[in-house]
Structure 1
């Protein structure tokens, strides 16, 4: 089965994609044997506690190189009879938490800096290409692919929108932008990196401010 790779190794080394997103993608696509060997089976939150971002990048690269991708219909033989009451409770708790996050008004605000064409809007699954700059509320820039002296030499970030590859605030906000639009997007912690933050570079419960320019929709 051909699997489309969502990120390059260079993108993963930036701050836009967190290790939870990487782990989740590997869990979805890797064979059960690969997951067992790398100790990536189990609850995402627990694995994220013990695996570093560098570990996740290494596993991602190895998976892509070995093409140990799961085939449709594959079954995890080791877990057929391993379901437990504790497992069920954990799954129910996770589902409840998701419902709580999904409820209520959107957890981002958008201020348009440059209007788009108001005709072409991305749909879920489309590949979008963006230039961006991410800052904390104190103005500290934690990640960007905008460099004035190198503009035109650096390619915009490309990814499939609405698929959970990036933080939810990005997914939701980009679906409201038209081609060519540039906007400042303020994202609440719930739709960013939440209570845990991101490996010391983004504090817990941080509200994030992004400048995003939608360059292409494919």
Structure 2
């Protein structure tokens, strides 16, 4: 409360005397939280009220008028000081960790968006040409029953290199992707698929449809 600005002492502990003090504060419209009073009250008005209390000896203060005035001024400045707003820091990850070479152009119209279901034919190889995975069948019987790989793109269902590259491909496009380990299987590799640690992978991917 405003009384905290001053060091004061009542002559008695009488509630009536205390009531007089509060009546004075109310008369000068100085009741309320100190920050609110400092924000809304005129500085000259506060100094006048302080002087009036001091001159009539309604309290005994040890602080000078100028010091109290400076305190009120500082409170008001702090109240009006705009709050600093934090800006989101964006991490610069540098260039993409893959390269794409177009083998067959798409329609250049229909591109997948994050969350769309894409349907792809693909073959994955190591840098030495060893095939570690494919859904393309060579025999006529298996070819008849083969289906493209379907998944939601851009939401982490596959390695990041695929997620990022497929968002740049249009329907019908076929591309060769060379994906760095950071956006493939990283330091651990994928032992079950015979992919060694820190392996750069090569894929031929055809985007046949988008849902």
RMSD: 1.8
Aligned residue pairs, count: 120
Q: 2:148 aligns with which of 153, 156, 159?
A: 156
Q: Which residue of 2 aligns with 1:209?
A: 202
5 Å-filtered alignment, 1:8-157, equals 103-149=93-139, 150-157=142-149
TM-score (norm 2): 0.54
Contact 1:108 1:188 in 2 (8 A): yes
In structure 2, distance between residues paired with 1:113 and 1:152: 24
After TM superposition, give the deviation of residue 102 of structure 1 in Å: 6.5
After TM superposition, give the deviation of residue 151 of structure 1 in Å: 2.8
* Residues 162/208 of structure 1: CA separation in 2 closer, same or farther (3 Å cut): same
After TM superposition, give the deviation of residue 147 of structure 1 in Å: 1.3
Q: Secondary structure at the match of 2:169?
A: coil
Contact 1:130 1:215 in 2 (8 A): yes
In structure 2, distance between residues paired with 1:121 and 1:160: 13
Q: Which residue of 1 aligns with 2:35?
A: none
5 Å-filtered alignment, 1:181-200, equals 181-199=173-191
Contact 1:186 1:210 in 2 (8 A): yes
* Residues 195/153 of structure 1: CA separation in 2 closer, same or farther (3 Å cut): same
* Residues 210/102 of structure 1: CA separation in 2 closer, same or farther (3 Å cut): farther
In structure 2, distance between residues paired with 1:137 and 1:100: 33
Q: Secondary structure at the match of 2:145?
A: coil
TM-score (norm 1): 0.53
Q: Which residue of 1 aligns with 2:75?
A: none
* Structure 1 unaligned regions, length at least 5: 1-98
Q: Secondary structure at the match of 1:216?
A: strand
After TM superposition, give the deviation of residue 100 of structure 1 in Å: 11
* Residues 101/186 of structure 1: CA separation in 2 closer, same or farther (3 Å cut): farther
Contact 1:101 1:190 in 2 (8 A): no
Q: Secondary structure at the match of 2:191?
A: coil
Larger Rg, first or second structure (1 or 2): 2
1:38-76 Cα shifts (integer Å, max 9, x gaps):
xxxxxxxxxxxxxxxxxxxxxxxxxxxxxxxxxxxxxxx
